[in-house]
Structure 1
Amino acid sequence: MRPRSVRGTAGLPALIAAVIAAPLVMPSSAAADSVVIGGQEVSADTSPWVVALSSRDRFGAARAGQFCGGVVVSPTTVMTAAHCLSPAVLGKDVRLVRDLRVVSGRSDLEGEGGQEVAVRSSWIPPEYDPEANSPDMALLTLSEALPSSRVLPVAREGDEAYAPGTEAVVYGWGDTTGAGAYAPTLRAARVSVLPDEKCATAYPGGADGRYTPATMLCAGDEAGGRDACQGDSGGPLVARGRLIGLVSWGSGCGRPDGPGVYTRVSAVLPSVPGGLPDAED
C-alpha cells in the first residue's frame, strides 16, 4: 500500500517507509502520493470546491506549500484524507503546524488570487487505523467561512453515484507523470467507478495493501493511464455532481492492474459528530 502523500516516514508501516524514505529537512512540496495522471488543466472557477492544503513552514514556498488536496463540504468545513495530517507527512503533530491553511479559488498555485484561510482545528475519526489506512478521512474547521457556492454536496449511502461504471472525475495538483512532475495548476482526469471485486483482486493484502469495500472504493481506467498520483491525497472524486471519494492510496499511478483507491465518503459520514452541515443533496 502506498498512500498518496509522501512527506516523512514516522508512524508508517515499514514497507511504506522503505518505499518513500523522504527526509523531513526542507521537504519539497506536494506531499501526497497522488497526482492526476492523464488529465487536463481545469479552472478553480468551474471547480470551486477543490482546495489545496498548505504549510510553507513544512513544505517550503514553492507551489504555496501545497502537500495534499481537500474538498469544501460546508462553508467552514473541508474534508481531506486522515493520512495527510499524520506526523509521517507533516513531520510533527498537526496541532503544532501553526501555518496550516487551505487555498481556495486559486487554479495556479504559483500565482495569486483566491483565498488562503487558516485552519482552526482538525478532526480524525477515532477508529482510523493508519496501518490499514482506513477510514482515511479528516475534517478541517476553517477560521472563516468560504462562500456557500463553493460547497460540494456529498453522496449518501445508496446513492447511484457509487454504482460501478459511473463516470467520475478526480482533481488535484499532484504528479502528472508518475515521475515527480508536480503540476502548478489544478488538473482533473476522468475515470470510472470500478466493481469491488476488481479492486479486491488488485489489492488482496500484502505488499500492495488490502482493499476494504466497507470504507473504500476504487476507480480508474480499464486500460490504465488515468489516475490520481503523488500529491493528490485528500482530493475529491466527484460523480453526478456529488462527492463520492477522497484520494487515498494505490500501487503506482495509472496502472491497469493497480486502480486508485479512495475513501468511500458515505461510509465515514455516520462517524462525523453532529453530521455535516450543508451536505444534503
Structure 2
Amino acid sequence: MRSVFRAVLRCRVLVAGVVAVLPALAIPMAAPATSASANEVVVGGTPTTTDQEPWVVALGSRSRFGADRSGQFCGGVAVGPHTVVTAAHCFSTEALGVSDWHQLTDLRLIVGRTDLTGTGGEEMPLADVWVNPAFDPATNAGDVAVITLGHSLPAGASIPMAQPSDTADYAPGTQAEVYGWGDTTGRGDYATSLRTAPVSIFADTTCEKAYPGGTDGSYQAATMLCAGAQGGGKDACQGDSGGPLVVGGRLVGLVSWGNGCALAEYPGVYTRVSAVASLVAQHM
C-alpha cells in the first residue's frame, strides 16, 4: 500500500488476523494508507462459488488465524487429484508463526466451501508440502509451493496449468480472472465468500517500470507476470496469496505480491505458472 514514508513490498498473505508485511531486502515497515478505487472484494470483484470454480481452495488454521472465516489466510489451486499449488511465502515463518508447517497441527486445505463462515465442503489435512528451495524472499522470484493430499479431491476439481508453449495466454491485453477470499478494500476488510475480479495481463515493460527494483520490489519477467486494470480498481489483495489467475480455462498465475492493492501505478504481480509447471509436475 502507498505510504507517505516509503513504499513497502507486501506479499499478499494474512498473518494472525492482520495484513502481513513481508519485507524485501529488510525494508522497514511503513504506515499504510488507503488504496485508491478499492471498494469491492478481491478488489473490484463480484461473487462466485466453488461449485462454479471447484479448483479454488483455501488454506486455513484456526489456532493461528482464529475461528472466523475457517482460519483462512491464503488461497490455492487444485491442479491434480492429489495436488494443490500455492505461494511459497504462505509457508514462511512470518505467515505460519512456526518454522515447520508440521508444527501447525490444524493446518488444513479447505475444499468446496464458498462461504468460509459455513461448514460446507471438506477440510483436508496436508500429507506433504514442497516449498520451492529457489524461492527468493528478497525478490519473490520462484514463489510456488506444492501441497500433496492423502486422498483424492472430487472429480473435476482441478484446472490445467499453462505450459511454456502457451505464450498467447501471457500476451499483453489478454483478459484474465483472479479469485480469492482476501481483503476487499485494501484496509483489512476480509471477505467471507469467494469472489472474482476481471483483470488484464500487462506488458512486461509496464511491470518492469512499476517495479524496477529497490523498495517497490523487483519484477522479473522470466518467473513473474503482472495484471490489473488501466486506472486501477481491480486487483488481488492481502489474504489472496497463492490463489489463481486464470486465462481461457488454464492457470497462468499465482497471486504473489504487489505494492498496495488496486493502485493504478502498481499492478499485482503473480508467479508465472508456465515457468514453474515442470517443477510442479515433479511433485505431483
TM-score by length of 2: 0.88
What is residue 84 of structure 2 aligned with on the other side?
Answer: 78
What is residue 132 of structure 1 aligned with on the other side?
Answer: 139
State whether structure 2 residue 29 is matched by structure 1 residue 18: yes
What is residue 98 of structure 1 aligned with on the other side?
Answer: 105
What is the Cα deviation at residue 17 of structure 1? 5.7
What is residue 124 of structure 2 aligned with on the other side?
Answer: 117
Corresponding letter in the other structure for 2:29: A
What is the Cα deviation at residue 128 of structure 1? 1.3
Cα gap change, 1:273/1:17 in structure 2, threshold over 3 Å: closer, same or farther? farther
CA distance in 1, matches of 2:138, 2:31: 15
What is the Cα deviation at residue 136 of structure 1? 0.3
What is residue 165 of structure 1 aligned with on the other side?
Answer: 173
Cα gap change, 1:19/1:68 in structure 2, threshold over 3 Å: closer, same or farther? farther
Deviations 1:141-163 (A, max 9, x none): 11221023001111101312121
CA distance in 2, matches of 1:11, 1:145: 33
SS where residue 64 of structure 1 aligns? helix
Question: RMSD over aligned Cα, in angstroms?
Answer: 1.9
Q: Is the 8 A contact 2:84 2:148 kept in 1?
A: yes
Deviations 1:235-274 (A, max 9, x none): 0000011000000000111111000000001111233363
Deviations 1:91-150 (A, max 9, x none): 102231111111111110001211111111100122111111110000011122102300
Corresponding letter in the other structure for 2:239: G
CA distance in 2, matches of 1:275, 1:118: 17
Give 1:215-234 correspondences, 5 Å limit.
215-234=223-242
Q: Which residue of the other structure, out of 185, 207, 211, is the alignment partner of 2:193? A: 185
Cα gap change, 1:17/1:231 in structure 2, threshold over 3 Å: closer, same or farther? farther
Corresponding letter in the other structure for 2:89: H
State whether structure 2 residue 275 is matched by structure 1 residue 267: yes
Corresponding letter in the other structure for 1:179: R
In structure 2, runs of 5+ residues without a counterpart are: 1-8, 33-40
Cα gap change, 1:190/1:263 in structure 2, threshold over 3 Å: closer, same or farther? same
SS where residue 272 of structure 1 aligns? helix
Q: Which residue of the other structure, out of 62, 65, 70, is the alignment partner of 1:64? A: 70
What is residue 32 of structure 1 aligned with on the other side?
Answer: none
Q: Which residue of the other structure, out of 144, 152, 172, is the alignment partner of 2:151? A: 144
Corresponding letter in the other structure for 2:110: V
Q: Is the 8 A contact 1:55 1:100 kept in 2?
A: yes
State whether structure 2 residue 57 is matched by structure 1 residue 51: yes
Corresponding letter in the other structure for 1:155: A
After superposing the two structures, state which structure 1 stretch, 123-132 or 205-214, moved more. 123-132
CA distance in 2, matches of 1:10, 1:193: 25
CA distance in 2, matches of 1:275, 1:173: 26
Q: Is the 8 A contact 2:23 2:29 kept in 1?
A: no
CA distance in 1, matches of 2:66, 2:174: 38
SS where residue 269 of structure 1 aligns? helix
CA distance in 2, matches of 1:180, 1:17: 20
Q: Is the 8 A contact 1:2 1:16 kept in 2?
A: no
CA distance in 2, matches of 1:191, 1:10: 24
Identity of aligned residues (%): 54
Runs of 4+ aligned residues of structure 1 deviating over 6 Å after TM superposition are 8-11
Cα gap change, 1:57/1:127 in structure 2, threshold over 3 Å: closer, same or farther? same
Corresponding letter in the other structure for 1:57: S
Cα gap change, 1:120/1:184 in structure 2, threshold over 3 Å: closer, same or farther? same
SS where residue 147 of structure 2 aligns? strand
